[in-house]
Amino acid sequence: MHARSLALVGCSLVGLVALTGCQPPRGDGGGRADPSGTTRAERFDARVTPASLFEHSDAVAQQLADDLKNVPALNGDYRATIVFGDIKNNTGIVSTTDFEAFRTRIRQRLMQSQNVLRNVRFVEMKQRIDPLIQRETSKNSDLLQEGNRPERKDLNPAYTYFLNGEMYRVERGNGATNLYMMGYNLVSMETGEIIWENQPYEVKQVR
């Protein structure tokens, strides 16, 4: 090979090294993606995207935290109790489990705020607690003695509120266009009054 050709090859190699920055090749990411982003598969799915659910749950948590001081029912001389209530899922194609998962995300974000925890406490629904109590007490015969079985204290209806969700879908064009309307509200256990509701959240998806 002529000296000129060798020089050109050498320059090309130097340029390649400069472009790569002498970085070792990256490993396989295992198909991981940014949870707040939207993949191609999700873009062509008629169901509401995880990105929209992330956005909605964060917006609800932020609004409830901001509104807490303005809700009289949650600012008395007591610590109110919030129980996860029902999810009214009228989407027809989205699993209720999806909405439950992101409602849990709302709770997790709210529990990071000390201002929120000064006013309210969060408890699981009774049907989820009872099997745990039964399982744990059966492991230890001492706990089965009369008067020694742990029980969950009854909730005071006057200070207890259910965090309910309502999810709807309006579909057009054989599923080509889907409008989702999602919201949460706090309902008094004693009176059934809605004491708080998040701002309307709507998202339209076109496949």
Q: pLDDT at position 5, please?
A: 52
Residue 187 lies in a domain: yes
Count the neighbouring beta carbons within 10 Å of the beta carbon of residue 100: 14
Is residue 155 within 8 A of residue 125, CB to CB? The reply is no
Backbone angles phi, psi at 75, to 5 degrees: -130, 40
- Domain total of the chain: 1
Residue 4 lies in a domain: no
Side chain identity at residue 128, one-letter code: R
Is residue 165 within 8 A of residue 103, CB to CB? The reply is yes
- CATH number for the domain that contains residue 78: 3.40.50
Output the tens digit of pLDDT for each of the chain's 207 residues. Answer: 555 554 544 454 445 444 445 555 555 556 676 766 677 777 778 899 989 999 999 999 999 999 988 999 998 888 999 999 899 999 999 999 999 999 999 999 999 998 899 889 998 765 555 554 455 556 555 544 545 444 445 688 999 999 999 999 999 988 889 999 999 999 999 999 999 999 989 999 887
Residue 24 lies in a domain: no
Q: pLDDT at position 101, please?
A: 92
Residue 79 lies in a domain: yes
Q: Residue 89: which domain range?
A: 45-206
pTM above 0.85, yes or no: no
Residue 7 lies in a domain: no
Count the neighbouring beta carbons within 10 Å of the beta carbon of residue 94: 19
Residue 91 lies in a domain: yes
Residue 13 lies in a domain: no
Residue 170 lies in a domain: yes
